[in-house]
Structure 1
Amino acid sequence: MRVLDAHLHLWDPEALTYTWLEGPMAYRFADLELEHARLERAETEKCVFVQAGTVDDDFLDEVLWVAGLAPALGVVGIVAGIRLDRGTDTVAHLEGLAAEPLVVGVRHNLQGEPDGLAVSAAFVTGAREVAARGLTFDACVRAAQLPDVARLAGAIPELRLVLDHLGKPAVGTAAAPLAPTPEWARDLTELARHPNTFCKLSGLPGEAGGDWDAAQLIPFLDVAADAFGIERLMWGSDWPVSVIGPAEDDDPHAPEDGSPTYQPTARTRWADTVIAWADARGHDLDAIFWTTAEQFYRTDARPQAPTVEPPRHGIRGWFRGSRG
């Protein structure tokens, strides 16, 4: 099958500045690391890079850094970091992005912002500038912020907006799973009433702290499918954020203290979970794993990186060994 990963991160603390990386995530995740996390079932694999939380001053440098890696990694689109509430500075930033052909959209990460920012006059003005340039907007919010995203979509109906990580609902853990709440399902459905809104099937393993199983997360996929329809859903790995958690079974490098660690097979396990769910429901796999993301981000109209054929070597033990 072919896979266009709609939500993948890359970072290098030696090249750019990040203030949030800690523990197992405070390392370089780029070309070599991704090659060891390729999906075994993917005959063709490409990806959309989503900004990784650099400091504001590094937003444009991050785009240039990723663009340099793009041909080798199959990156066919870049969702750049931006602040949309900065007036003329926002416009200047968007004009700078116009010179970068791989930029397909932007993300002002809202999950840590005060409630109401997404519907403030300054933010809506910036979002209108995004829509006017034909760029997309990635909305990364907590579940309680979903009504603000719906109001933003209503205020700018021409804005192509995609919800990251299903709005980050509380999912619990494999041992203590939580069911979808009526409030989250209601707010997701309200957002989906706006026809230019889409949703990424991504991030739920991360919301479980890496301690998850398929039975726990499938009810959330069902709610998203009911709300958006399969034609507005796209798969994303949220690598490497969603591959940190308890050591996987038979990991010979598991930390003795039981602390979170890199899970070598977690990206593949999440893809396999969504594939099995889609197969069981009779959903269109190619739409979820390729065409919807391609059409939403319009990557077919952008410069194309070479097709990446995934390696077939093992990956257990690589992560720590590569840190040397």
Structure 2
Amino acid sequence: MVLSTPHHAVREDWLALAREEVLAPDQPILDAHHHLWDRPEGRYIANDFQQDAQDGHDIRASIYVQCRTGYRSDGPVEFQPLGEVETILDWSANRPAHPVGIVGFADLQLGDAVRPVLEELVAAGRGKLRGIRNTTAYHPDPAVRSNPRPAPDGLLRSDAFHAGAAAVAESGLVLDVWAYQTQLDEVQTLALAVPDLTIVVDHCGGPLGVGPFRRDDPDSFRSWRDGLARVAALPNTRIKIGGFGLSVIGYDYAALPAPPSSQDLVADWRAHVDTCLDLFTPERAMFESNFPVDKGQFGYRTLWNAFKRLAEPLGCDERNALFWHSAACCYGIDAALFSTDNRRTLS
């Protein structure tokens, strides 16, 4: 069965209508979050990401995040996600830095029984497995949907999930969490329950702008900010800044006659980005592309130009934290990849 996608279709001819000069081309970047897939709605594998990553910005390395790619078709169901790690390593065999790290999937609803799955994933990752992510974003309104297979309610709250998350921490892995603003208190409770676990909140903590939510509603913004503040107050949390191309956030750049400019994106995103930086500081925040999901709304070059404009008021150390250092520390990536000697020499 082919599931409908909530993502905007990628139109290369439309994206080609906007072409900006690359800003700050010497800024090293670790793209902290992207996907690869071969799906009925489109193909975006290692070569496709490489083409985007080589389009002017100094993308030294990247982190792949699970999206149900290449699961095994047989064997025990809990071990079938090992196929995703195997597939990504196969696709990127000649590109050691893209990805330099992998966030895979293990069903944390298995609770403590997830441990052998984590062990097998670590072995399959050949030193690249850095974290785990489950499908957890849930809202009862069907208009609020960011996944072809929406999560059921209650995963983040369940005792089994907390036990599985504790196993992730004991395995030395990070937990990525994609949750909507209405679930941020559940993320806070999880972070309190497993204080040794580093939790990376994806996509700015899921501010919503569809269904019962409006992007321009100050009450909704305040609710998102307050929930995120409670998460940020805990030292074991981090945040990824990006994901603004997700349909649930409410922007519809894809309906424009031409793609938005980086100045347009800055004007739209500044309030959310500044809030994330105020709450987490650059040392606990990292920029992400979320490609190819966001590629239906704007180009890779434009996206990173927007991030560079947003980071321009910051000092050099803070900018480096956002563009690579925070993600490298969080996911255990060798900082030598981002030295001057390695500039534009990685593939």
Category of TM-score, reference length = shorter chain? 0.7 to 0.9
1:49 aligned onto 2:64: yes
Correspondences of 1:27-46 after superposition (within 5 Å): 27-38=42-53, 40-46=55-61
Q: Answer yes or no: is 1:222 the counterpart of 2:248.
A: no
Whether contact under 8 Å (2:104, 2:132) holds in the other structure is yes
2:273 paired with 1:233: no
Q: Contact conserved, 1:102 with 1:302, CA < 8 A, in 2?
A: no
Aligned to 1:291, what secondary structure does the other structure show?
helix
Task: From the superposition, tell whether residues 12 and 302 of structure 1 become closer, same or farther in structure 2 (CA, over 3 Å).
Answer: farther
Inter-partner Cα distance in structure 2 for 1:39 and 1:271: 12
Which residue pairs with 1:119 in the alignment?
157
1:274 shift after superposition: 1.2
**Aligned mates of 2:321, 2:336 — CA distance in 1:** 19
Compute the TM-score of the two structures, normalised by the length of structure 2.
0.73
The number of aligned residues is 276
For the structure 1 residues 291 and 309, does the alpha-carbon distance in structure 2 shift closer, same or farther, using more than 3 Å as the test? same
Q: Structure 1 residues 61 and 191, CA, compared in 2 at 3 Å: closer, same or farther?
A: same
Output the aligned Cα RMSD.
2.7
In structure 2, what is the equivalent of residue 7 of structure 1? 33
* Aligned-pair CA distance for 1:28: 1.6
Partner of 1:275: 308
The aligned amino acid for 2:66 is: Q
Which whole-Å CA distance do the structure 1 matches of 2:194 and 2:215 have between them? 36
C-alpha spacing 1:220/1:129, structure 2 compared with 1 (3 Å):
same
Going from structure 1 to structure 2, the CA distance change for 1:29 and 1:68 (only over 3 Å counts) comes to: same
Offset at residue 171 of structure 1 (A): 4.9
Say if 2:112 and 2:167, in contact at 8 Å, map to a contact too.
no
Q: CA deviation at 1:214?
A: 2.1
Unaligned runs of 5+ in 1: 14-21, 246-262, 312-324
Residue of structure 2 equivalent to 1:299: 333
- Aligned twin of 1:260: none
TM value normalised by structure 1: 0.78
Note the residue ranges of structure 2 that are not aligned, 5 or more in a row: 1-26, 72-76, 138-149, 255-259
| 2:31–2:59 CA contact under 8 A, matched in 1 | no
Partner AA of 2:44 in structure 1: F
Which residue is 1:248 aligned to? none
- Give the C-alpha shift of residue 76 in structure 1: 0.8
SS in 1 for 2:38: coil
Written as runs of structure 1 = structure 2, the 5 A alignment for 1:81-120 is: 81-87=105-111, 89-99=113-123, 100=125, 101-111=127-137, 112-120=150-158
Which 10-residue stretch deviates more, 56-65 or 121-130?
A: 56-65
